[in-house]
Structure 1
Amino acid sequence: MSHAKKQWLPAALSLMMVGWGANQFVSLLVIYRNAHGFSEVMVTSMLGIYVAGLVPALLLGGRYSDRAGRKGATILAVGLSMAASAAMMGSVFGAAPLFVGRLLAGTATGLAMAAATSWVKELSQSPWDTTSVAGSGARRASLLTSGGFWLGPVVGGLLAASAPGPEILPYAVHMVLCIPLLAVVARLPETRPRQSPQVPFPEVAAGRAPGRKRFWLVVAPAAPWVFAAGTIGFAVIPAVIPGLGDARLGYATAAVAITLGCSVLIQPLARRLDSVLSARSLITGVGVVLAGLCLLLVAIVFPNPALGLIAAAVLGSGNGLLMVGGLLEIQRSARAHELGALTGYFYTLAYVGFLAPTVAALVGQWVDALWIIAGITVLCVASLCIVVLNSRKYLPHALEQVDAKAGSRA
């Protein structure tokens, strides 16, 4: 394999290490509660401040990388992830360092997902990679992002459970692994030259933004189901399946493993489902999520834990299909000047899905779980209808023909 074909890998590993750093906190929550007596409100607030850093970084980081370049934004994201780990090593001094660390981790994650995802896509095509097939960038970025989110809590939990210094060692290992990665990333080529903020992009000046129109009509309605599918699979299902009793903890562990495992395993299939003639990959993804919700309804009506785990597998598959499918749609239809921004918007909408367990728990104080899932299912049907109706609008190949005609008249 030539050196050129490998240039996407360090950029993708940046996504993995930032995701690792963001999620290792989850495996240490029990330690923080037991060793420091942190209340549930304080722990929830630490999760919330992560989002406070994540969303602005997603919305602004992609636009920044469109103007200033992918490499600098990615290096900054990895550096912030290391700073987050360093801050959270100070938990022995109280909660304040954890709040700082979580805010930095959220900022790093948002910046990496917007900028590094775009960088991986660009490094996976000519002239940096002349052998990869169309859609490789989306698949690579999604797979490494998912891998990082999975590795963080797994490695962090193993280190915390079996090694000395459980509040320090997991973060130290993460920082040590990031150092050589930064050295390699710094030598990668920049794919997006710096743009002057005073000079508008040619496409913007011409008043053409069809890629954005397809994004809002096709990608945006499907995006919230990316993480809604995952969180329902591993957080809601163990809570709503009746009759588990003392087995609920073990059942929840199995649901997490099945949901996340299916999400990763299904992703290579997503690229094969993709089509330049329609939004087939997104339609399939939302359809799979809908099937998972219907299975969950049956598992609740006829209390069946095994069927609940099957529903978790289907929902996890929907998560993986939608993550890859959404990135494929964006990377195919977005022009270079808007790739980072639209990637950031996609992940921002996807993170809305993380609210699903919170909403379900809140509404569950007054409404039976069956009706909550039924309501979510109706919303999924509505999203699927919107994607299907707009599936063939503003297709990338049609946009290229419009641009070619405009160029011939110029």
Structure 2
Amino acid sequence: MGMAMSDRDGTSVETGAPAIRCENVWQVFGSNAAQKLRAAQEATGGDRDATAERLQAEGLVPAVRDASFEVREGELFVIMGLSGSGKSTIIRCISRLLEASGGKIEIAGENILTANKARMIELRRDKLGMVFQHFGLFPHMTVAENVAFPLKMQGQGRKARLERAHEVIDLVGLSGREASYPRELSGGQRQRVGIARSLAVNPDIWFLDEPFSALDPLIRRQLQDEFIKIQATLRKSIVFITHDIAEALKIADRIAIMRDGKIVQIGTPTEIVLNPVDDYVREFSKDVVKGRHARIKSVLRPLSEAPETMPDDPGIRADMTLEAALAACMSCYEPVPVHDASGAVVGIVHPSDLAAALQVDEA
């Protein structure tokens, strides 16, 4: 049976079983954390905040608190928050680089918290791809050898693995640099190599933990654009960690915002910008120009409210941002005079020029 979820623009869509399901996940740091978590939950009747307070009183650190969410097949799911919010910890729990203290984590319906070591090695080798902020490239290997390395670990022959490496190197825009060494590449190019290496095994699920945060703003925006293009081609199930609201709004299908180990809101970029659940979420988006992220679907009225006659059709689409739609609507109006300080007419301005001047290029 499918489940109803919302796409980037807030439209309900029907999907199959999720790629990832987290139910009531806790990550507590300290001795005997799992045992003390169970005792605290029993003592508090399962109340999340009371459980966390009890654990803290015992000297433990509840880094992730009762987190529940799902990532559907082909979805780019962003988890964001400030430092210490638990966003990187949760992604390590899902990949079992950290052992969750409590709850349930499923990948394609399989409860991985009960999987043995051999099964986890198999999952990480064949099904899961990971990219982290620090590239971790082998300095003595060429670009092609770095990208092909995971395939070598799978036992693939040299010819087959290098052919696959060249495919993904081309995908990330590094054709011609196959024989280069990491020291000969820029930071942005090295990150592309890291992305290509994680894609070499063609993972079903892709984890990216602040992959662009160490890069300068221009290179970061370029890689975000490339990343969006790659995802449009591959349609991987992705969990992407960031602390940058602009990055989250640009790339995400849905966003989960974390604070103090808790998930405080999950929604599409439009929902996060237009309907923040509290002051914490509102603070994230206070400087965001809402018209650049909210879509016409979010303010659409039914046809039953349409007047008998309407003005010229400017070609508005339901998936347009409010800003782009405003610019199109403005094209229906006439230019107006512009005066100087003395009142003399010095020129004209068309309303569409005003709207266009407020726009930014969309990826």
Superposition TM-score tier, normalisation by shorter sequence: under 0.3
Larger radius of gyration: 2
Greater share of residues in helix: 1
Greater share of residues in strand: 2
| Structure with the larger RCO, 1 or 2 (CA within 8 Å, 6+ apart) | 1
